[in-house]
Amino acid sequence: MPDMQVLVNDFATKLKKHEFGGSHAAARLTAELLRSLVSQQRLSYGDQAEALIEAIRAVGEQLIAVNPVELAIGNIVRRVLHIIREEDLSLMINDVGELKLLAGSDNEDIVEQNDNPVLSVATIGARSILRTPSLHALLEYSPDSAAVHHTSSGGDCRGKYNSDKSARSRKLKHEVIEAINEVLQDIDSCHEQIAEQAVEHIHHKEIILTLGRSKTVLEFLCAAKEKKRSFQVLVAEGAPRYQGHVLAKELAARGLQTTLITDSAVFAMISRVNMVIVGVRAVMANGGVIAPVGLNMVALAARKHAVPFVVVAGTHKLCPLYPHKPEILLNDMRSPSELLDFGEFSDCMDFGIGTGDPLLHVTNPAFDYVPPELVNLFITDIGGYNPSYMYRLIADYYSADDLVVQRKPTP
């Protein structure tokens, strides 16, 4: 598929140049790319689901290797892999019902015919047990729907099963594409779904603190303002990129009482604050978050003064990985020029000895890691949850077989 490879290469190039601008855009474009891959994939007579999974893994492994820090891409890849497994399981359950009816007994297995092993009900049942079905997969199957395909002739079950192979392949691709479309709808509507919960958390005459700029936080605060809530917002500027300046202007333009403060003034102002509401880059499996640099300092100040620390994030930011060495593996080191001019930096070079080695090392991380014990509540597009509940959401959206996105080695 040369056309598909061109799309993947263009996507990887944009990802390498950081042209997406945020996890929301990266997640949406990844879902669209994988949807195109599924639609163009040709499935053979064998295990269609396994072939589709290997194709998604090949693309996902390539994209994650380009920019491992952009966790939203790996999240969507794993989400699509889980969708394929779930839809395959749903079709498998339907096949079990049909084969049982064709066999004439709920307890009778389909035996070998013409010296060729035929897939038995017991075999399919065993494979189903290995993969715990989600609520969606269980609701997809009903005995009545399977009974519609029952034929009274009691003919060759193996012929019936093999004749439906191509139809099953088309149906699998159709169901996977429909599920990916639902994921895209969830990504597009996550801001609105989160904003609808604003009136449950923001009350009259409160003071809200945030840091940096987040569209989710912007829509969340503006939704509370539209519900006639009167409150003030303190925005920490978020140096050295100063995205807080942009958010403060946007809030003021939409009629909210906004005060811009420096990052160093957060601890002095936190005692007057009723709640800290922030957006994050990713939510890890243990309930910790990867957030803009400086947010860990805000979380520590909030815990010191017993101020609730609330994180708003869509489910596409939920990552099934654990933050092992987040300061190294999950951080993006930016250019030192954001902190120090080149002229000032050149004055610190050791030209006297002749080696030119710098006497000053400038570290400019893009993100902070906030541990789960500093987070009080997560507000997602499907409701509010404690950090200790993240493991349950991971079980609903991801499969344990896909935590490591890597193709199987060829024998």
Token pair for residue 261?
Answer: 């403060």
345: in domain: no
Pairwise CA distance, residues 127 & 148, whole Å? 24
List of residues 6+ apart from 12 with CB closer than 8 A:
62, 63, 66
Is the pLDDT confidence value at 371 over 90? yes
Q: Kindly state whether residues 157 and 250 are assigned to the same domain.
A: no
Number of Cβ within 10 Å of residue 135's Cβ equals: 8
Write down the pLDDT at residue 294.
92
User: Would the pTM of this model clear 0.85, i.e. be above it?
Assistant: no
Query: Which CATH number is 385's domain given?
Result: 3.40.50.10470
Amino acid letter for position 238? G
Q: Kindly state whether residues 378 and 305 are assigned to the same domain.
A: yes
Number of Cβ within 10 Å of residue 411's Cβ equals: 3
What percentage of the chain exceeds 70 in pLDDT? 75
Is the pLDDT confidence value at 274 over 90? yes
DSSP 50-82: HHHHHHHHHHHHHHHHH-TT-HHHHHHHHHHHH
DSSP 83-144: HHHHHHHHHHHHHHHHHHHHHTSTTPPP--BTTB----HHHHHHHHHHS---HHHHHH--HH
List of residues 6+ apart from 35 with CB closer than 8 A:
177, 180, 181, 184
Domain boundary at 190, 208, 225, which?
190
Q: Kindly state whether residues 88 and 165 are assigned to the same domain.
A: yes
Range of the domain at 151: 2-190
Write down the pLDDT at residue 260.
96
Q: Which of 329, 402, 243, 393 is nearest to 71 (CA)?
A: 329
Q: Which of 27, 8, 46, 49 is nearest to 173 (CA)?
A: 49
At 124, the pLDDT band (50, 70, 90 cuts) reads very low
* H or E segment and range at residue 257: strand 257-261
Please, what is the angle between helix 23-40 and helix 71-103, to 10°? 40
At 102, the pLDDT band (50, 70, 90 cuts) reads low
At 5, the pLDDT band (50, 70, 90 cuts) reads confident
411: in domain: no
Domain boundary at 173, 190, 207, which?
190
Q: What is the mean pLDDT of residues 74-84?
A: 95
43: in domain: yes
- pLDDT tens-digit profile of 349-365? 655 555 656 677 788 88
Write down the pLDDT at residue 130.
42
129: in domain: yes
107: in domain: yes
At 44, the pLDDT band (50, 70, 90 cuts) reads low
Write down the pLDDT at residue 172.
87
Q: Kindly state whether residues 186 and 201 are assigned to the same domain.
A: no
Q: Kindly state whether residues 117 and 205 are assigned to the same domain.
A: no
More confident residue, 290 or 94: 290
348: in domain: no
The answer to whether residues 351 and 279 touch, using CB atoms and an 8 Å cutoff, is no
At 16, the pLDDT band (50, 70, 90 cuts) reads confident
As for how many domains the chain has, the answer is 2
50: in domain: yes
Amino acid letter for position 66? V
Least confident of 94-98, 102-106, 214-218, 406-410: 102-106
- pLDDT tens-digit profile of 304-322? 999 999 999 999 999 999 8
Least confident of 64-73, 218-227, 269-278: 64-73
Q: 3-state DSSP call for residue 259?
A: strand
Domain boundary at 161, 190, 219, which?
190
356: in domain: no
Write down the pLDDT at residue 391.
86
Q: Kindly state whether residues 202 and 224 are assigned to the same domain.
A: yes
The answer to whether residues 236 and 212 touch, using CB atoms and an 8 Å cutoff, is yes
Q: Kindly state whether residues 66 and 118 are assigned to the same domain.
A: yes
Write down the pLDDT at residue 336.
82
Q: Kindly state whether residues 92 and 213 are assigned to the same domain.
A: no
More confident residue, 185 or 153: 185
Q: Kindly state whether residues 44 and 179 are assigned to the same domain.
A: yes
Q: Kindly state whether residues 12 and 155 are assigned to the same domain.
A: yes
Amino acid letter for position 28? R
Write down the pLDDT at residue 361.
78
Number of Cβ within 10 Å of residue 403's Cβ equals: 14
Pairwise CA distance, residues 216 & 52, whole Å? 34
Q: Kindly state whether residues 9 and 153 are assigned to the same domain.
A: yes
Pairwise CA distance, residues 323 & 11, whole Å? 26
Q: Kindly state whether residues 171 and 201 are assigned to the same domain.
A: no
Average pLDDT, the chain: 81
